[in-house]
Structure formats: C-alpha cells, structure tokens
Amino acid sequence: MVEQDVIILANENFTGQYHRLVLQADRIAPQAQPGQFVHLRIPLLREALLRRPFSIYQVKDQTLSVLYKTVGKGTHQLARLKPGQMMNAIGPLGHGFTVPASPQIRPLLVAGGYGMAALYLLAERAPRAGVVFVGGRKQGDILCEAEFRALGWEVRAATEDGSYGRRGLVTLPLREELERDASGVRLYACGPTPMLKAVSALAHEFNVEAELSMDEHMCCGVGVCLTCVIPVRTSEGWEYQRTCTEGPVFTANSIAWEVMA
Ligand SMILES: Cc1cc2nc3c(=O)[nH]c(=O)nc-3n(C[C@H](O)[C@H](O)[C@H](O)COP(=O)(O)OP(=O)(O)OC[C@H]3O[C@@H](n4cnc5c(N)ncnc54)[C@H](O)[C@@H]3O)c2cc1C
Ligand code: FES
C-alpha cells in the first residue's frame, strides 16, 4: 500500500453517467491485483479529507484507470477535473480476487454496474477465458462488453427492462449455465448486494466456489474506522470483518448472510 500524488492523464465520458479516469501512478499501478481498489482524495471537494474508493479497472505499466459513475458530490467534482491536475491516492488497497491457478478452473464472472471494471484485471490475468454475465436495469448499464470480448471472453447480458440481452436478472442466464455444466466452475462477482446474495445461493445450490466483492460504504479505507464491516463466519459463530482490509473480496460461504440487514 502506497500513498502518492498522482497526475490525471485523462478524465472523459465513457458511456452514460460513467467516466474513465486515467492516472499516472507509478508506485501504485505496478502492484495492483485484481479486485483491489484505490482511495482517492478529490481536490476542491469541501469534505476533501473523506476519500472515495474506486476499483482498479485497467493497469498499464505505471498508469491505472478507474470507471466511475457520477452519483453524488464527490464523483460530480471528480468529473470536473482536467488532465494535468494532481490528486492524492492510496492504493492498491484490499484483498482482491484469487486468480485461478490453472486452466482446469472454468471462471464465470458475474457483474452489475461498475462490477465489470472490478473484474477486468481478473479476466485479463486468468489462465483461460470464460463467460462474463453482466446485468443492469437497462442497456446503458451494461459496461465494457467490447473490452471483455477483446480479451476472448464470452459476454452474456441481461437487462431488467429487456432493452438489451435477456430480459430479467443476470442470475437467470447464470443459473442456466450452471444447470448445463457446473464442473470445474468458480464464480467471481461484483455488484449490488442482492445480486451477490443470489450468486452466493447459486454457488451453494450447485456446490461451486464463489468469491464476492462486498463493496460497503468506506471512510478511512485502511482498517481504522470500522465503517465498512460485515459479518463473517468463524468456528465459534461469526464476527465483524473490515471490507477495506480483510475484503472487499470474501468467499461466498464465509459471509453470514443471515446476520446482514
Ligand atoms: C471497494 C469499492 C470499490 C468501488 N468501486 C467503484 C467503481 O469502480 N466505480 C464506481 O462508480 N463506484 C465505485 N464504488 C462506489 C463509489 O465509491 C461511490 O459511488 C462514491 O464514493 C460516491 O461518492 P459521492 O461523493 O459521489 O457520493 P455520495 O454523495 O457520498 O453518495 C451518493 C450516493 O451514492 C451512494 N454510495 C456512496 N458510496 C457507495 C458505495 N460504496 N456503494 C454503493 N453506493 C454508494 C450513497 O448511498 C448515495 O446514495 C466503490 C465502492 C467501494 C467500497
Ligand atoms: S473503511 Fe475504515 S475500517 Fe474500513
């Protein structure tokens, strides 16, 4: 983990409400692992001390990029920043996804929203390509399809309004694939909590391993404030663990879903 001032190389609209921010981050980028994140201090934000966490999307040499959606004060301010401006970043943070050790493991990725960005490095570094199941409310929520296809991955989309791909939740085509063949499968997912819970239930039903990125609200991002805890099973029952340090990625069967609100 490194704290450094980084230079904005690009900050442009990607699609819809999503923007792509490219940072010159020579000490963070080379260390980044799939599923890790950076914690950015956004300049000229009144509450600038509160950083904002973003998954590391792509890494190339000394640069890294993130895909962010403008949802509130911080991300709207981020979208106003121009190439050449500096900001402070901490990263790479968190415990990310386990890259499959061998091509015997058949990776199936499941993404909602910016989950595609969080899963990209895993797809790039996996020893074999698999299938990415991507879901959203409408066509505009489906990100990075071309980028995953360019890596040789098959992309199956589902939208709730039926405007693109299958109509319905992303777990429908995922279920069909597991019914067809669940042998050697490992699931990796990032997206809204109800989606992660449904993926966890499918992993249990089909007896396959699953790793989930549990992106809770974060303040410090480095394990101090305990804002980001979730209940995780232990031999005695369960305990709270920090998604910023023990996570954000946890195995599906380690999460005490029955305790989560
Ligand atoms: C580990 C991690 C990785 C993330 N990666 C990405 C990413 O790659 N791309 C991306 O667009 N966003 C990502 N997020 C979410 C992102 O951090 C928030 O959207 C951002 O901090 C909102 O800041 P804001 O000041 O614009 O919004 P705020 O004014 O703080 O909040 C605006 C709205 O966004 C909601 N919100 C804030 N934080 C989160 C969160 N963590 N999860 C869900 N909703 C939230 C608030 O409840 C509120 O409704 C990630 C979050 C975590 C914890
Ligand atoms: S965000 Fe502070 S402990 Fe995780």
Closest atom of ligand 2 to 225 CA is 2
Mean pLDDT on 125-146: 96
Which ligand is nearest to the Cα of residue 53, counting in written order? Answer: 1
Residue 34's pLDDT band (cuts 50, 70, 90): very high
User: How many angstroms separate the alpha carbon of residue 227 from the centre of ligand 1?
Assistant: 14
126 touches 61 (CB < 8 A): no
Closest atom of ligand 2 to 219 CA is 1
Read off the pLDDT of residues 211-236 as tens digits, 9 standing for 90 and up: 999 999 999 999 999 999 999 999 99
Q: What residue's CA is closest to ligand 1, atom 19?
A: 71
Q: How far, in Å, CA of 261 to CA of 257, rounded?
A: 8
Q: Is pLDDT above 80 for 49?
A: no
User: How many angstroms separate the alpha carbon of residue 224 from the centre of ligand 2?
Assistant: 5
Q: What residue's CA is closest to ligand 1, atom 34?
A: 71
Q: What's the pLDDT at 174?
A: 98
Q: Where are the beta strands (DSSP E) in the chain?
A: 2-15, 18-24, 37-41, 52-55, 59-60, 63-69, 86-93, 106-112, 131-136, 154-159, 166-167, 185-190, 209-213, 229-234, 237-242, 249-251
Q: What residue's CA is closest to ligand 1, atom 11?
A: 68
Q: What's the pLDDT at 48?
A: 60
Q: How far, in Å, CA of 171 to CA of 135, rounded?
A: 8
Q: Which residues of 34-61 are buried (b: 16+ CB within 10 A; e: fewer)?
A: bbbbbbbbbeebeeeebbbbbbbbbbee
pLDDT cut 90: percent of the chain above it: 95
User: How many angstroms separate the alpha carbon of residue 245 from the centre of ligand 2?
Assistant: 8
